[in-house]
């Protein structure tokens, strides 16, 4: 079947079977490989994208379910001039990534959090990131980056 | 995963008609069904998405009843079920934010995972499960692990919760899956207290009737201090023994009462 969705503001179409996952469709049909597939068991959150403004795991949704939807991926996060947006820049400034594999999902999750809660506490951030797993940084720097992206003071050492 | 035909009807009638096909299954949020299909533990010929049916989505409150559409995601319950705060709080702690944006109450109740949160809320609240063809009392609905009173091709269109005087849900979380290692929902109504336990029993969600009797006479954590929970039917796995879960039932019930 043909599936059409608006991805990062642009209408895009491709072929999908019933079983084609949204993550597979984005990567293989639309060529948007910024969305990573980490575990493929809905645990790690590397594949996090926004569908109609809501954060979802694209490996646990069928492409056909997103037919006609507005989808936002990591490729659409940078500023119009190509510079990093405030969240991405904060991840760089606070060393919120090491290998970078989880980062697209972390950034999309952070964007979703800050939209709902522009000044989250550290606890709010940790609660919100429960579905995003990072195996390098131990989360402290990710939490700091998100605090910084929200314009709040970043403690020298994050608690916990 | 095996391939299947995907359809997305816009009315309950169309969905029921589509489900008449052999091996057709309803798809709500898919947060359990899709992982199961990836493991080839499930092989539907057709998936009938329920998310295109507007009347199945939303929360409404009327008098002392909160009604939730069957295909309402957890995040919407968390945000909109303010008339039943304990239920909204439970919804806000299911899985993680991405799961809460997709997973639905009807999907959770139809699956009846022995460690899911919603079955505890529905059973403790004496909720009514509304389907396309009938209404089922929660006491008759849950029939053991992954087993419910639903017939083939029957879908949950809504759930009616009578709002209690006070309620609280205590979830001892399995930190990797975020399911309840054990969870206890306590709801206090004018005609008595109901206590439902999830995550603990091999038979799925159940009511702890001894605690209900004790708490209906004296609604305080002390009222259950002399009770013990039989561990013989409890789940035992690498995360906790049957005895551990039996102890959690009592501890969490006390905490829930204290938090009411």
Q: Check residue A97 and report its DSSP letter.
A: -
- Which of B30, B37, B98 is closest, CB to CB, to A55? B98
Question: Over the stretch B80-104, which tens digit does the pLDDT of each residue have?
Answer: 999 999 999 999 999 999 999 999 9
The H-assigned helical ranges of chain B are 12-18, 33-38, 74-80, 85-91, 97-102, 105-111, 118-124, 138-141, 209-217, 242-259
CB B206 within 8 Å of CB B228 = no
3-state secondary structure of A26: helix
Orientation angle between helical segments A140-149 and A103-116, nearest 10 degrees? 40
Q: Do A41 and B35 touch (CB under 8 A)?
A: yes
Question: Over the stretch B177-192, which tens digit does the pLDDT of each residue have?
Answer: 899 999 999 999 999 9
Question: Over the stretch B200-236, which tens digit does the pLDDT of each residue have?
Answer: 999 999 999 999 999 999 999 999 999 999 999 999 9
Q: Which fold has domain B54-162?
A: 3.30.465
Question: Over the stretch B95-129, which tens digit does the pLDDT of each residue have?
Answer: 999 999 999 999 999 999 999 999 999 999 999 99
**The complex's ipTM?**
0.95
Give the N- to C-terminal CA distance of chain A in Å, as an integer: 49
Tokens 């605090």 -> residue:
A147
- For residue B200, which of B170, B240, B167, B238 has the smallest C-alpha distance? B240
Domains belonging to chain A, first-starting first, are 2-76 (3.10.20.30), 86-149 (1.10.150.120)
What is the reported pLDDT for A157? 58
Q: Which fold has domain B5-49?
A: 3.30.43
Could you list the beta-strand ranges (E) of A25-135. Answer: 48-51, 54-57, 70-72
Question: Over the stretch B58-77, which tens digit does the pLDDT of each residue have?
Answer: 999 999 999 999 999 999 99
Q: Do A130 and B1 touch (CB under 8 A)?
A: no
Q: Tell me which of A42, A117, A131, A146 to substitute to probe the interface with B (most B C-beta atoms closer than 10 Å).
A: A42
Which of A39-43, A152-156, B66-70, B132-136 is predicted least confidently? A152-156
Interface of B with A (CB under 8 A): 1-6, 8, 30-31, 34-35, 37-38, 47, 49, 51, 75, 95-99, 101-102, 176, 178
What is the reported pLDDT for A40? 87
By C-alpha distance, the chain A residue nearest B8 is A65
Question: Over the stretch A97-119, which tens digit does the pLDDT of each residue have?
Answer: 999 999 999 999 999 999 999 99
For chain B, the structural domain boundaries read 5-49, 54-162, 166-259
CB B204 within 8 Å of CB B145 = yes
Answer whether residue A156 shows pLDDT above 90: no
The chain-wide mean pLDDT, for chain B, equals: 97
How far is it, in rounded angstroms, from Cα B223 to Cα B216? 9
Read off the tokens for B22.
């052999």
Q: Do A131 and B98 touch (CB under 8 A)?
A: yes
| pLDDT, mean of residues B17-38 | 96
What is the reported pLDDT for B177? 86
Q: Do A56 and B178 touch (CB under 8 A)?
A: no
- The confidence band for B36, taking pLDDT boundaries of 50, 70 and 90, is very high
Question: Over the stretch B193-207, which tens digit does the pLDDT of each residue have?
Answer: 999 999 999 999 999
- Which of B4, B8, B96 is closest, CB to CB, to A130? B96
How far is it, in rounded angstroms, from Cα B95 to Cα B174? 10
Q: Which fold has domain B166-259?
A: Enolase-like; domain 1 (3.30.390)
């Amino acid at each position: 079947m043909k599936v059409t969705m608006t991805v990062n503001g642009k209408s895009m179409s491709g072929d999908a079977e019933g079983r084609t996952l949204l993550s597979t469709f984005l990567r293989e049909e639309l060529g948007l490989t910024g969305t990573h597939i980490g575990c493929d068991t809905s645990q790690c959150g590397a594949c996090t994208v926004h569908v109609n403004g809501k954060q979802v795991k694209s490996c646990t949704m069928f492409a056909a379910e997103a037919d006609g939807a507005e989808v936002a991926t990591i490729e659409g996060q940078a500023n119009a001039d190509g510079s990093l947006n405030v969240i991405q820049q904060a991840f760089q400034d606070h060393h919120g990534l090491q290998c970078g594999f989880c980062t697209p999902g972390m950034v999309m999750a952070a964007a979703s959090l800050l939209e709902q809660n522009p000044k989250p506490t550290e606890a709010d951030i940790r609660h919100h990131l429960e579905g995003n797993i990072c195996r390098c940084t131990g989360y402290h720097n990710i939490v700091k980056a998100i605090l910084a992206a929200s314009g709040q003071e970043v403690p020298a050492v994050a608690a916990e | 995963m095996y391939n299947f035909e995907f359809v997305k009807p816009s009315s309950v009638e169309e969905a029921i008609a589509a489900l008449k096909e052999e091996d057709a299954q309803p798809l709500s949020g898919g947060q359990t069904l899709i992982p199961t299909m990836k493991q080839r533990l499930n092989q539907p010929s057709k998936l009938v998405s329920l998310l295109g049916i507007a009347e199945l989505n939303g929360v409404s409150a009327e008098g002392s009843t909160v009604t939730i559409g069957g295909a309402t995601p957890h995040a919407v319950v968390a945000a909109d079920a303010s008339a039943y705060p304990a239920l909204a709080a439970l919804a806000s702690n299911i899985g993680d934010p991405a799961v809460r944006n997709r997973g639905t109450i009807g999907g959770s109740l139809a699956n009846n995972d022995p460690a899911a949160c919603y079955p505890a809320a529905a059973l403790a609240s004496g909720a009514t499960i509304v389907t396309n063809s009938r209404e089922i009392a929660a006491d008759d609905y849950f029939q053991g692990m992954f087993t419910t009173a639903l017939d083939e091709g029957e879908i949950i269109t809504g759930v009616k919760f009578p709002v209690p005087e006070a309620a609280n849900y205590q979830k001892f979380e399995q930190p990797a899956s975020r399911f309840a290692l054990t969870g206890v929902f306590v709801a206090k109504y004018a005609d008595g207290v109901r206590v439902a336990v999830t995550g603990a029993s091999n038979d799925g969600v159940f009511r702890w009737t001894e605690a209900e009797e004790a708490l209906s006479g004296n609604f305080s954590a002390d009222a259950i201090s002399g009770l013990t929970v039989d561990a013989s039917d409890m789940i035992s796995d690498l995360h906790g023994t049957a005895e551990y879960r039996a102890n959690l039932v009592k501890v969490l019930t006390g905490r829930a009462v204290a938090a009411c």
